Amino acid sequence: MAITMGNKTTSDTGPSTSNDPNISTNVFKLARIIVFLSIGGILLIVLFSLTKATTIDDATKTLNIVLPVFGTWVGTIIAYYFSKENFESASKSMQTFVDRITPEQKLKSFLVKEKMIPLQSITKLIYSPEGKTLLKSDLLDGLLKDNNRLPVLNSDMSAKYIIHKSMINSYIAQKALTPTLGNADLSQLTLQGLLTESPKLEEFFKNSFTIAKEDDNLADIKTKMDSNKSVQDVFVTKNGKADEAITGWITNIMITEVSKMH
């Protein structure tokens, strides 16, 4: 019996931030004030130039110096304001478009190899028919302690079973009702014994997963799962063949999470 624990990683995302709803309004007010002040300033300069200048050439020179400065200033403010508004409008349009994408379209946009749990990160059991995998200590108190399902692989890393915790618990509970078995005997129940004694359970473990190739998209995976309600897991191989070593694992929960992503 070989037991492999996958790597567990956690991610910490910082606190979310949201834009102040008053920012756009304040920017608009500021732009309007600056434009009006600029117009007023230009009018004052024009009046001053006309009343104080001794010749028309003097007034013209004054206006030629001042007007480009005010024009550039006003142009900069207006450009900033409208470019910001256009950016916000484009962002809203893009978000609206994304929100309209159907779950199936989202799934089609991801390849299996982009979202699968890689082999080295999978908590798994390497099965040996001659071995002795104890249901309680090795599985329920070990590999299945924090998991509801457990991949079981052959020695060549090809897929063999998906073990369900609920069915292991049910099997042990059924054995506990057997008068000839005591607590000591229950602790010695093995996976190998369960599979030999319960052919139907072994058949379920063997058929509760399907195989997909790395270049399939997640919509293809969902279609395979939907065609068989007992299938909740997909083992991934390079070419989608059952006798190949697996390269990853995808669960029904992962498919659901991706379809809801924004």
Shared domain for 181 and 55, answered yes or no, is no
Does a structural domain hold residue 6? no
- Count the domains in the chain: 2
Domain, as residue range, for 60: 23-100
**More confident site: 49 or 225:** 225
Give the predicted TM-score (pTM) of the model: 0.62
Shared domain for 159 and 229, answered yes or no, is yes
Shared domain for 138 and 58, answered yes or no, is no
> CATH number, domain at 238?
3.10.580.10
Pairing verdict, β 159-164 and 124-126: unpaired
Does a structural domain hold residue 1? no
Cα distance between residue 115 and residue 212, in whole Å: 13
Cα distance between residue 262 and residue 260, in whole Å: 7
Q: CB-based burial of residue 189 (10 Å sphere; 0-12 exposed, 13-18 middle, 19+ buried)? A: buried
- Percent of the chain clearing pLDDT 70 (strictly above): 66
Shared domain for 62 and 145, answered yes or no, is no
Lowest mean pLDDT among 82-86, 128-132, 208-212: 82-86
- Using the predicted structure, report yes or no on whether residue 78 has a pLDDT greater than 60: yes
Mean pLDDT across the chain: 81
Give the amino acid at 87.
Answer: F
pLDDT value of residue 100:
63
pLDDT value of residue 56:
65
